[in-house]
Chains A and B, each alone.
Chain A
Amino acid sequence: MNDNDTFVACPKCFSYQEVTENGMKFLSSFKNSNRPKEVCFELGQSIRVNGTSYTITGITQRNDSKYKSFKWREYNLKNDLGEDAFLNEYNGNWLLVKPLTQVYIRGDQSFSYQDVEFSIFQAYNQEVNWAVGNFNFDITDIDKLYSREFIAPPKMLIYEVQKSSKETNPEWYEGEYVDNNEIYQEYLSLGNTTTFPSKIGVGATEPYKSQFYYKDALKMSLITLAVILTIQLYFMATSPTTTVFRETFSVADLKIDSTSTNLTSAKPIVSKSFSIDKTGKIEIELNSGVDNSWLESNITMVNESTLEELPIVIGNEFYHGYEGGEKWTEGSTNASKDYSEVPAGKYHLLIETITPATNGGTYEVKLQTGGIYWINIFIMLCLIAILPIVKYFQEYNFEKERWADSDFSPYNYDEE
């Protein structure tokens, strides 16, 4: 027992007494049956936290006087130099708290301390509902402690004041998150038989730990975006669209199919030769003057060197009318198709066109090379955005979970 300790919660008889000049004065008692199952260390045990050895001088379980189900455990610690510290545990998340001697802080909601921005996390009156050990104040005085917690993970600043003092003489404490595995190793080394509290949720000051953070993914993707845009601009400049074949044909020149008096013959027209200078995409267009009718061309693009054939089916159909007081149209008088990776070389077309024999007018076949597929860059943008988006939401959800128990959460939980 220390000189300043004036209240004792006996670990054997569980009575709570005040040390007075006239001896021990009985105040109340805590039941052993009320001992929280989360208390995993015993009074007098020595544990090492953040590199410092401490002896446990007191253990309490506290709760928010408003939200009574919010209970946490506090181990009063003293190191070899006689300095006080507190090890707090809530839902298996641990916090080592030390008193601060000189703090000049202004701001109820947020403030900067040592160049770090702290935000208010919780404000509450606390009660002690179970205790063992020695204490330097009356832990059962429920009117005594009003606390405000400010966090900047992994740090926390805690403001405590006696309510009766009207916040004129606050005490400040600084807390730092302690990895639960570190405490668990201490628990194992002591061979305690009590249950070690399982970690639940995200601790108020738990830092987000990852091998790969959102900002890293974003930075790498932005660099890649710059490279992609440069490549895209280069190919836009060096792959202009060029028309290599364009010819207009008359429907009247098509013969009537001997097997069908209604359709033109599919006998092919052999086009003049043209060259494709560079392997790449081609786009073939068919434009016609069909009116409430259709026209279809079966085009074979023949490589004159390799005799490879690229079969293309392309058609126009355009219908319109007036029905129910409204005009309607369907289809179009032009169509286009594109083909990828067509090798450079000399080509000609075999064009077989079928259309109702009653059709007149002309139809035009046009073939262009060059140009780029814009969908490629959109796919790339999607691919490079996936990981930053995933990482962003991982970190967002982590923070949201951290603030879930706070009355000051900046997040909205209504939808859940």
Chain B
Amino acid sequence: MKLDNRYKIMYAAFLMVIVGYFAYSLQVGKLFYEFSTKSQWDGSNSRTSGVNRFYHK
């Protein structure tokens, strides 16, 4: 099979991009669809029980 037209080339490029991103996801331990992991650090998904946030600071 040859990459003899632009549709095949585009599909090959798409496959290469997702394979690269897949390998990167495994390397850094992230979910494939989780493009940014910043939100888990800002506390927005935590502190739901009214605990004094500044107690230990």
Bitwise, A337-379 to B at CB < 8 A (1) or not (0) is 0011110000000101010000000000000001111011101
Question: What is the chain B residue whose CB lies nearest that of A354?
Answer: B49
Question: What is the chain B residue whose CB lies nearest that of A378?
Answer: B32
Given contacts A216-B1, A298-B51, contact A311 B46 (CB under 8 A): yes
Distance to closest chain B CB from A176 (angstroms)? 25
Pairwise interchain contact B25-A376, C-beta atoms closer than 8 A:
yes
Cross-chain contact of A342 among B25, B29, B51, B52 (Cβ < 8 A): B29
Question: What is the chain B residue whose CB lies nearest that of A308?
Answer: B41
Bitwise, A284-296 to B at CB < 8 A (1) or not (0) is 0000000000001
Q: In the complex, A334→B45 CA distance in Å?
A: 20
| A312 interfacial contact with B, CB 8 Å | yes
A350 neighbours in B (Cβ, 8 Å):
56
Pairwise interchain contact A372-B18, C-beta atoms closer than 8 A:
no
Bitwise, B21-57 to A at CB < 8 A (1) or not (0) is 0110111111111100100110101111101100110
Within 8 A of B (CB), among A268-308: 268, 270, 279-282, 296, 298, 300, 308
Pairwise interchain contact B28-A383, C-beta atoms closer than 8 A:
no
A354 neighbours in B (Cβ, 8 Å):
49, 51
Question: What is the chain B residue whose CB lies nearest that of A343?
Answer: B28
* Majority secondary structure of chain B interface residues (helix, strand, loop or mixed): loop
A244 neighbours in B (Cβ, 8 Å):
none
Pairwise interchain contact B19-A231, C-beta atoms closer than 8 A:
yes
A228 neighbours in B (Cβ, 8 Å):
19, 22
B30 neighbours in A (Cβ, 8 Å):
281, 340-341, 373
Cross-chain contact of B32 among A231, A280, A376 (Cβ < 8 A): A376
Distance to closest chain B CB from A212 (angstroms)? 4
Question: What is the chain B residue whose CB lies nearest that of A340?
Answer: B30
Pairwise interchain contact A311-B43, C-beta atoms closer than 8 A:
yes
Interface residues on B, range: 35 or more
| A31 interfacial contact with B, CB 8 Å | no
| A256 interfacial contact with B, CB 8 Å | no
Cross-chain contact of A383 among B6, B18, B23, B47 (Cβ < 8 A): B18
| A192 interfacial contact with B, CB 8 Å | no
A379 neighbours in B (Cβ, 8 Å):
32-33
Q: In the complex, A342→B31 CA distance in Å?
A: 12
A377 neighbours in B (Cβ, 8 Å):
22
Pairwise interchain contact B32-A235, C-beta atoms closer than 8 A:
no
Pairwise interchain contact B51-A266, C-beta atoms closer than 8 A:
yes
Query: Which of A227, A308, A341 gathers the greatest number of chain B CB atoms within 10 Å?
Result: A341
| A239 interfacial contact with B, CB 8 Å | yes
Q: In the complex, A365→B14 CA distance in Å?
A: 42
Given contacts A340-B29, A350-B56, A376-B25, contact A220 B1 (CB under 8 A): yes
B7 neighbours in A (Cβ, 8 Å):
211-212
Distance to closest chain B CB from A359 (angstroms)? 16
Cross-chain contact of A340 among B11, B37, B48 (Cβ < 8 A): B37
Q: In the complex, A41→B55 CA distance in Å?
A: 93
Cross-chain contact of B5 among A212, A239, A270, A279 (Cβ < 8 A): A212
Question: What is the chain B residue whose CB lies nearest that of A310?
Answer: B41
A309 neighbours in B (Cβ, 8 Å):
41, 43
Pairwise interchain contact B28-A280, C-beta atoms closer than 8 A:
yes
Distance to closest chain B CB from A103 (angstroms)? 35
Q: In the complex, A387→B22 CA distance in Å?
A: 18
Q: In the complex, A267→B56 CA distance in Å?
A: 8
Q: In the complex, A200→B44 CA distance in Å?
A: 58
| A320 interfacial contact with B, CB 8 Å | no
Q: In the complex, A380→B46 CA distance in Å?
A: 30
Q: In the complex, A380→B41 CA distance in Å?
A: 27
Pairwise interchain contact B51-A279, C-beta atoms closer than 8 A:
no
Cross-chain contact of A373 among B29, B43, B56 (Cβ < 8 A): B29
| B contact residues vs A (CB 8 Å cutoff) | 1, 5-8, 11-12, 15, 18-19, 22-23, 25-34, 37, 40-41, 43, 45-49, 51-52, 55-56
Known A221-B15, A281-B30, A296-B49; further 15 A-B contacts with Cβ < 8 A: A224-B19, A228-B19, A239-B29, A281-B29, A282-B29, A298-B51, A308-B41, A311-B46, A313-B47, A313-B48, A339-B40, A372-B26, A376-B22, A380-B22, A380-B32
